[in-house]
A and B are shown apart, each in its own frame.
Chain A
Amino acid sequence: MADILTSPHVGADVQHGKEIDYIEAKKGIWSWMSTVDHKRLGLMYLWAVVANFIVGGIFALLVRITLLTGNHGDNYFISAELYNRFFTLHGIVMVFLVIIPSVPGALGNFVLPLMLGAKDVAFPRMNLASFWIYTLGNLMAIGAIALGMVDTGWTFYTPYSSTTNGPVSLMALAAFTLGFSSIFTGINFIATVHKLRAPGMGWFDMPLFVWGIYSTSLIQVLATPVVGITLVLLTIERAWGIGVFDASKGGDPVLFQHFFWFYSHPAVYIMILPGMAVISEIIPTFSAKTIFGYKAIAYSSVAIALIGFLVWGHHMFPSGQSQLASLIFSFLTFLVAIPSGIKVFNWLATMWRGNISLDTPMVWAVNFLLLFTIGGLTGIFLGALSTDIHLHDTYFVVAHFHYVMMGGTITAFLGGVHYWWPKMFGRMYNEGPAKIAAYLYFVGFNVLFLSQFVMGSNGMPRRYYNYLPEFQPWHVASTVGSWIIAAGLFLALGNLLASLRKPKEATDNPWKGTTLEWQTQSPPIEHNFHDQPVLHRAPYDYRTPVSVDREIH
């Protein structure tokens, strides 16, 4: 027990066999449905997110198949109307039901208290409530799909959304409900970080994952109520026509855009910061090196969270807002690039002359670095006023935010799942198929979305059902890419699931990680640690050799 924590009760008798872990501690479906254990809730979020990811992915594949040809009139085998609904549902499911809860809900719930050396989050019952509110919102969304689907796009722009038919109100209220779940999780994590850190763990001794989740939680708490009440206003507008957003009734449709993006731009950082948080864990572990610029990465998370509140207007350059406002929003948008760049350079500096082992989580992390960098840099194009006028509402935007949201967050999420899988389930997956899946994903991703950058810069508008023949080769490439990516994802999922049939043989610390979650059993016992761990060293300290079987260059 030379490293981070002191765990006095781990004696010889415990070392031989594993103790009853949190999965086996209680039996029966009710013990899961009523659990307040953050680890079990993390798993429940994980399965919910995976299920929704498959649904959202199928919508995406259907959209791509429809776009294989471009001049098929309005009655192709997927009609124009159905196509509108599919891309809307792809967006709503992926944003509200997959990406936002993915890293915080699944990985954050599982790992954050362990990393802090705590027994649970600050408010375990609220954590359970948060999961069930998420489930309620999920059911409402499914209800809206069953009742005939929604064709507004995930942005619910008025006046279309306040006048179109279909269960828009139910879908808006589903998003409202999901927002509550997100707020409760955020409040819980902030209080946990403030009040439940292990003795000896100051703010700058926390793992960077915690900093990332903490910054995310700040945005969740401060931005989500705004979209919540906005969607309620939209629902009331639809029901009674009170004229807040409908110009014909005395309202202002651009006001809706402002309210929507006041949440939804910070929400982009709700989605990407947790991804960055995961990467900040994986890279030092697999480089066997202390992270470069710890404080810079920690502060840049908070900086992104704060600046992220002030840039929403860059979604609205062509909306008729004042030129001065656009200018300021554009300038502030450029500022966000600074903390993001700081992070990327620090990760690269961590890898530089490190003892890199390309295990599966690290492959995903490298995927993240490449894809996120493309996504981030193309964001600069869109933040620039004049180029945005040309690129606005084209496939360039679609490609850009997929590089960030999917290439960034989903990639990091998959890396995180592979990284903490042995901790969560006590089992190790097969490295071979897992790596092939990661490579397939990388190739498929670029085939899918690089072609969309080309289309977009040539003027292919987003969300169109028919298109000019000159775009067809690019669309075909893009669709083929979607199949490669799907193959990679199914391989990854199948490989992970297959590991669950194995005996629980994973060691406590298979990657030689230095943070606290690796200092307890895999899977952890119900109360996480036998005794309160006490920290006497900063995270990512590889100077004192933990393992001797790696060559140090």
Chain B
Amino acid sequence: MSTHAHALDEHAHANHDPNLQHHFHTMQQQFDASKLGMWLFLATEILLFGVLFVGFGLSQARWPEEFKQAHHHLDRVLGAFNTVVLLVSSFTMVMAVHSAANSKRKATINYLVVTILCAVAFLVVKYFEYSHKIHEGLLPGQYFTYLANTDPMAKGNSVFFGFYFMMTGLHGFHILGGVVVLCILLAQTIKGRYSASYYTPVDLVGLYWHIVDLIWIYLFPLLYLIG
């Protein structure tokens, strides 16, 4: 048994990849642990949004006519455009991971740049959508001025926009966070930090980016395509 213990120890030292942390034996073990951690984090993301989806569904059942009426304020063309933008960014993200895993630094840089540009485009479109709604007085709760308080449809409309801003807002924050980490990835890639032997961060951010896209895939029909 003692030789076995030695072998493990020497194995860790012989490899001595600078990216290998001291408490892991192999790069593979470290990669697997990181990936498992990321998947667990993504599970928490799904539950985070899950609450909002459930709340939305129940409120829609309570205010069906109002939700239908309210959703006409959303611009389907812009929503569809953003959906396409995010789908493209998901593809370029996959390619970025693939390039990093094959030590293709230039390709990785290019794909990351396109992904970031898509994310920014998404946020710009969202900015115009938001400012249009704020202009119309469609902010929820006490700021809802589009319909008079006495209007029987006002409550349900306000609740719809409460969920609209919560859900797309939380999603928007995730896109914004994604842009930040993608920029860090880009800087590190330019420095040549990643190669076939170590590209864990690219892989993990890729997973994160896909879940953010996936959530939008559900948000778009739920909010924009009710009627």
Give me the interface of A with B, judged by CB distance under 8 Å: 6-8, 118-124, 126, 183, 186-188, 190-192, 194-196, 199, 221-226, 228-230, 233, 236, 240-244, 249-252, 255, 259, 527, 531-534, 536
Query: How distant is the Cα of A206 from the Cα of B143 in the complex, in angstroms?
Result: 56
Asked if B33 CB lies within 8 Å of chain A CBs, one says yes
Query: How distant is the Cα of A255 from the Cα of B57 in the complex, in angstroms?
Result: 12
Contact call B2/A226, Cβ cutoff below 8 A: no
Contact call B23/A120, Cβ cutoff below 8 A: yes
Residues of A within 8 A of B139 (CB): 240
Given A187-B37, A250-B156, A241 contacting B142 (CB threshold 8 A): yes
Given A229-B48, A243-B140, A252 contacting B62 (CB threshold 8 A): yes
Of the 9-residue stretches B77-85, B89-97, B118-126, B158-166, which lies at the interface with chain A? B158-166
State the main secondary structure of chain B at its contact with A.
helix
Contact call A194/B5, Cβ cutoff below 8 A: no
Query: B1-32, CB under 8 A of A: which get 1 and which 0?
Result: 11011101100000000000111110001001
Contact call A240/B5, Cβ cutoff below 8 A: no
Q: Number of A-B pairs whose CB atoms are under 8 Å? A: 138
Contact call A532/B155, Cβ cutoff below 8 A: no
Residues of B within 8 A of A119 (CB): 22-23
Residue of B nearest to A124 (CB): B23
Contact call B36/A244, Cβ cutoff below 8 A: no
Residues of A within 8 A of B143 (CB): 240
Contact call A195/B36, Cβ cutoff below 8 A: yes
Query: How distant is the Cα of A476 from the Cα of B212 in the complex, in angstroms?
Result: 57
Residues of B within 8 A of A187 (CB): 37, 40-41, 44
Candidates B36, B51, B52, B58; contact of A191 at CB < 8 Å = B36
5 A-B pairs (CB sep. < 8 Å): A196-B29, A199-B8, A225-B47, A229-B52, A243-B155
Contact call A532/B5, Cβ cutoff below 8 A: yes
- Give the shortest distance, in Å, between B151 (CB) and chain A (any CB): 12
Contact call A250/B33, Cβ cutoff below 8 A: no
Given A6-B5, A236-B166, A252-B58, A221 contacting B141 (CB threshold 8 A): no
Contact call A240/B141, Cβ cutoff below 8 A: yes
Contact call A259/B51, Cβ cutoff below 8 A: yes
Residue of A nearest to B156 (CB): A250
Contact call B55/A244, Cβ cutoff below 8 A: yes
- In order of increasing CB-CB distance, the 7 nearest A-B pairs are A242-B162, A250-B155, A119-B23, A241-B141, A240-B141, A8-B2, A195-B33
Asked if B45 CB lies within 8 Å of chain A CBs, one says yes
Candidates B6, B24, B59, B170; contact of A531 at CB < 8 Å = B6
Query: How distant is the Cα of A527 from the Cα of B9 in the complex, in angstroms?
Result: 13
